[in-house]
Amino acid sequence: MLRMRVPALLVLLFCFRGSAGPSPHFLQQPEDLVVLLGEEARLPCALGAYWGLVQWTKSGLALGGQRDLPGWSRYWISGNAANGQHDLHIRPVELEDEASYECQATQAGLRSRPAQLHVLVPPEAPQVLGGPSVSLVAGVPANLTCRSRGHARPTPELLWFRDGVLLDGTTFHQTLLKEGTPGSVESTLTLTPFSHDDGATFVCRARSQALPAGRDTAITLSLQYPPEVTLSASPHTVQEGEKVIFLCQATAQPPVTGYRWAKGGSPVLGARGPRLEVVAEASFLTEPVSCEVSNAVGSANRSTALDVLFGPILQAKPEHVSVDVGEDASFSCAWRGNPLPRVTWTRRGGAQVLGSGATLRLPSVGPEDAGDYVCRAEPGLSGLGGGAAEARLTVNAPPVVTALHSAPAFLRGPARLQCLVFASPAPDAVVWSWDEGFLEAGSQGRFLVETFPAPESRGGLGPGLISVLHISGTQESDFSRSFNCSARNRLGEGGAQASLGRRDLLPTVRIVAGVAAATTTLLMVITGVALCCWRHSKASASFSEQKNLMRIPGSSDGSSSRGPEEEETGSREDRGPIVHTDHSDLVLEEEGTLETKDPTNGYYKVRGVSVSLSLGEAPGGGLFLPPPSPLGPPGTPTFYDFNPHLGMVPPCRLYRARAGYLTTPHPRAFTSYIKPTSFGPPDLAPGTPPFPYAAFPTPSHPRLQTHV
C-alpha cells in the first residue's frame, strides 16, 4: 500500500512544482473578419508561455501544424513562433474561404474562440431596361426597371437618381429575382413624365457593403408629348365694342397638327391657326375663349377670359313681397357689370336712399311701408347700361275704410251711400249697419247693398272694393242717423261712418218752371214763323194763271219713268222750294216708293203719287218745276215763265221738290173724291193719254179737277 502512494505523491509534487511558473495562454485571439472577394484575409493568434505545437482549424478541419500549410496553397501561417505569434493568412480570398476559424495550442489543450470569415462580393453594374435612351409619352404613367445580376454578397441595394439627386424611395420598389442567384435583384421606378422631363438623365445605382460607393448605370428620357399651350389676349382689359387679338402659342413633340377655337364651350366658326380677332362684348367676361392645339400624341387646351368693361345689366328682378304688419320684409335684385355697379334702393317717387347692395331689409313693417320699391344701378364708366327695377311691398293689415262723398237726396226719393275699402288680405265681408239693422249683400226692405272692384288699387294695401248702399224712399230718420261701413279680414276690422245729405225741393221747382217758360216762348216763335211761311205759300198758289206740271214716276202697270240719273241733272240752285200737300192718305214705304190711297176714287189707277208745289225761281226769272214726266209729250219744257202773270216771287222757301211728287197750283189738289169698292184699268178712248190732267194745255186753269 505504501509503495502505491509514493508515485502518486511524486506526481503531485511535480504538478505543484510546474504550476509555480506561467501557464500557456492566448495573448491574442482571432475575431470575425469581413473581406472582399479576391483580397487577403488575416486572422491573428498569439500565445504566451507556450512553445509547443500550434495549428488552425477551418470549420473544425485541421489545416496542419506546418507554417506553410501544405495542401492549402492560398493559406499560410506567419509570425515569430518563439514569441508565440501564429497568424493565419488567406490570399486571394474566395467564396469557399467563408468559414469559422480557430487557433489551437495542442499540447496545452488551448483553443481560441471561433472567428467567422465573411467574404463579400461587390455587385456588378446594374442594367436599365430600354436604355441607354428610353422613349416615353408625356403625361402617361410609365415604369423604369433596373436589374442587378451576379453573386453579390450581400444582396445589393438599388437606388435611383435624377440629375444627381436621389429620388424618394417611395417612388420605387425592389424585389429579388427567382433565378437561384442570391445577389440578383430588380428595382422599378414609377413616374409620370412631363414635357420638361424630355432629355432628363436617370441613374440606377447598385451598392452594398462590399461596394459602398456602388456602381451606376445612366439612361436618358426621350419624350413624346402633346402640345403645351400658352394663350394670351391683347389687350386684356378692354371697353365693350373694342377689338381684341388672341394669340395661341404651343410647343409639341411631334409637331402641332391643328388649332381649334371656342368661346364659352361653343366652337368659333371659321377660326383657324394660332390667331383670333374678335370684338369684345360683355359675354367675354363670363364665357372664356379657349384654344385647343393637337398633335399625334394628343391635344392641350388653354382658355382665358377678357376683362371687358361694360355698364350694369339686370340679371334678377326683385319680386313682390307680402308680409303681415310687424314682420320683416326684404327685397333682392342682381345687376351684372364690370366694374360692379353701385346698387341703391329707394321708394318710387322718393329720393331718399333706403339702402345699398343687392338686398334691402325692412324690419317690422307697418301699413305706411306699403308701396313700390325701386332697385337702381348707376351707369358704368362708359355711360352705358344702368336702370331700375321695381317691386311692390304689400303689408297685410286690417282693412282701411274710407267713406266716399255722396250726393244729397230728396225726402222719399232714392239715395246712395258709398265707401272705399282697401285690405290685404281681401276682406271677408263688407257690412253696412245703422240703428235698427245691418246688411252685407242683397236687399232688405228699403235697403240694397252692392260691391264692386275699385278701378285702382292703393299701392301695397291690396285690391280695393267699393261698397254701395242704395236707399229707396228716404225717410226723415235717414237724414239724421249715421250709417257705418265696416270690413273685416283675418288681421282685424276697419270702418267709416257716412251720413246722408238732404236736398231742398224749392230750387228744383224754380228751375223747372223757368225751363217750361223758356220752352213755351220758343214754341210760340217757331209757330209764328211757320204761319208766316204758310200764308205766303197759300197766296202764291191762288194765282189761276200759273201753270203747273204734274209728274207721275210710275203707274201700277209698270210704265217707265226717268231714272235717277236724269232726275239729278238739275243742280240744287235750279230747284225752287217745294210745298208738300197735306194728304194723309199718302204713305211712304221703307223702300222709297210711295203707297197711296187712290185719290181719284178709282177713276185712275195711280201708284206712288204725291203732290208738291214748285215755287222756286229758276235762272232767267222763270219758275222752276220738276222734270216732266216721261208720260207727257216730248219737248215739254221743264219750267215756265210766269213773270207776265205773276209779279212777285214767293219769299218763303221752306220746302224742296222731291222726285215722285205731283206738281199742282194748289197744295190740296186731291180733296174731293169718292172711294170705289175696287180699282181697275180706266176706260180710255183711243189716243187719250193715260193722265189727261198732266198736260195742262193753258196756264190759265184756275184749278185741277180730280173728280168726274
Same domain, 106 and 134: no
Residue-level pLDDT at 462 = 63
523 assigned to some structural domain: no
Most confident of 71-80, 152-161, 418-427: 71-80
**What is the residue type of 57?**
T
Tens digit of each residue's pLDDT (9 = 90 or more) over 268-309: 998 889 999 999 988 898 899 999 999 988 889 999 999 988
Tens digit of each residue's pLDDT (9 = 90 or more) over 646-662: 444 444 443 343 434 34
Element (H, E) at 468: strand 464-471
At 82, is the pLDDT very low, low, confident or very high (cuts 50, 70, 90)? confident
128 assigned to some structural domain: yes
Same domain, 137 and 266: yes
At 109, is the pLDDT very low, low, confident or very high (cuts 50, 70, 90)? confident
| 148 touches 158 (CB < 8 A) | yes
More confident residue, 20 or 462: 462
Could you tell me where the beta strands, DSSP code E, fall in 540-691? 578-580, 586-588, 594-596, 610-614, 616-617, 623-624, 639-640, 661-663
Question: Is the per-residue pLDDT at 451 higher than 60?
Answer: yes
What Cα–Cα distance (Å) separates residue 125 from each residue in 158, 184, 368?
10, 12, 94
Question: Is the per-residue pLDDT at 427 higher than 80?
Answer: yes
Measured in whole angstroms, the distance separating CA 122 from the mean position of its chain's CA atoms is: 77
Same domain, 67 and 86: yes
Tens digit of each residue's pLDDT (9 = 90 or more) over 583-594: 334 333 333 333
Same domain, 485 and 431: yes
Tell me how far apart the terminal alpha carbons of the chain are, to the nearest angstrom. 230
Same domain, 167 and 188: yes
State percent of the chain over pLDDT 90: 32
State percent of the chain over pLDDT 70: 68
Same domain, 228 and 184: yes
Report, as an integer, the average pLDDT of 373-395.
83
Q: What is the CATH number of the domain that holds 336?
A: 2.60.40.10
**Cell numbers that stand for 175 in this block:** 424585389
Question: Is the per-residue pLDDT at 361 higher than 60?
Answer: yes
Residue-level pLDDT at 565 = 40
More confident residue, 40 or 171: 40
Beta strands 661-663 and 610-614: pairing type? parallel
More confident residue, 259 or 194: 259
Residue-level pLDDT at 460 = 56
Tens digit of each residue's pLDDT (9 = 90 or more) over 479-527: 888 899 999 998 889 899 998 988 876 665 667 778 888 899 999 899 9
Same domain, 111 and 136: no
User: What average pLDDT does the structure give for the chain?
Assistant: 75
The label of the residue with cell 240703428 reads 435
Question: Is the per-residue pLDDT at 368 higher than 50?
Answer: yes
Question: Is the per-residue pLDDT at 85 higher than 60?
Answer: yes
195 assigned to some structural domain: yes
- What range defines the domain where residue 192 resides? 122-305
Residue-level pLDDT at 102 = 94
Tens digit of each residue's pLDDT (9 = 90 or more) over 496-507: 999 898 887 666
Beta strands 266-267 and 299-304: pairing type? unpaired
From CA 429, how far away is CA 359, in angstroms rounded? 37
The long-range contacts involving 272-275, CB below 8 angstroms and separated by at least 24 positions, are: 274/247, 274/248, 274/249, 274/250, 275/245, 275/246, 275/247, 275/248
Residue-level pLDDT at 617 = 39
669 assigned to some structural domain: no
From CA 401, how far away is CA 465, in angstroms rounded? 9
Residue-level pLDDT at 116 = 94
* CA nearest neighbour of 348 among 241, 433, 459: 459
Same domain, 167 and 202: yes
Residue-level pLDDT at 605 = 45
At 623, is the pLDDT very low, low, confident or very high (cuts 50, 70, 90)? very low
At 703, is the pLDDT very low, low, confident or very high (cuts 50, 70, 90)? very low
From CA 272, how far away is CA 510, in angstroms rounded? 98
Torsion sign across C-alpha atoms 484, 489, 493, 495: negative
| 691 touches 552 (CB < 8 A) | yes
At 139, is the pLDDT very low, low, confident or very high (cuts 50, 70, 90)? confident
Same domain, 289 and 151: yes
| Domain boundary pick from 436, 469, 499 | 499
At 627, is the pLDDT very low, low, confident or very high (cuts 50, 70, 90)? very low
Choose the weakest-confidence range: 308-322, 327-341, 594-608: 594-608
Measured in whole angstroms, the distance separating CA 443 from the mean position of its chain's CA atoms is: 52
Residue-level pLDDT at 179 = 53
| Domain boundary pick from 332, 365, 395 | 395
More confident residue, 569 or 225: 225
What domain count does the chain have?
A: 4
690 assigned to some structural domain: no
| Domain boundary pick from 441, 474, 499 | 499
Residue-level pLDDT at 512 = 75
DSSP codes joined into one string, 354-410:
-EESSEEEE-S--GGG-EEEEEEE---TTS---EEEEEEEEEEEEEEEEEEP---B-
Residue-level pLDDT at 181 = 57
Same domain, 381 and 363: yes
Which pTM value belongs to this model? 0.39
Same domain, 199 and 346: no
Q: What are the residues facing 89 on neighbouring strands?
A: 42, 76
The label of the residue with cell 366658326 reads 269
699 assigned to some structural domain: no
Question: Is the per-residue pLDDT at 550 higher than 70?
Answer: no
What Cα–Cα distance (Å) separates residue 594 from each residue in 161, 476, 487?
130, 61, 67
More confident residue, 581 or 396: 396
Choose the weakest-confidence range: 79-83, 98-102, 373-377, 604-608: 604-608
At 183, is the pLDDT very low, low, confident or very high (cuts 50, 70, 90)? low
At 667, is the pLDDT very low, low, confident or very high (cuts 50, 70, 90)? very low
Report, as an integer, the average pLDDT of 175-196.
75
Residue-level pLDDT at 16 = 40
More confident residue, 124 or 173: 124
189 assigned to some structural domain: yes
More confident residue, 4 or 63: 63
Residue 514, judged by CB atoms within 10 A of its CB (0-12, 13-18, 19+), counts as exposed
Same domain, 481 and 419: yes
Residue 155, judged by CB atoms within 10 A of its CB (0-12, 13-18, 19+), counts as middle
CB-CB neighbours of 399 under 10 Å = 26
547 assigned to some structural domain: no
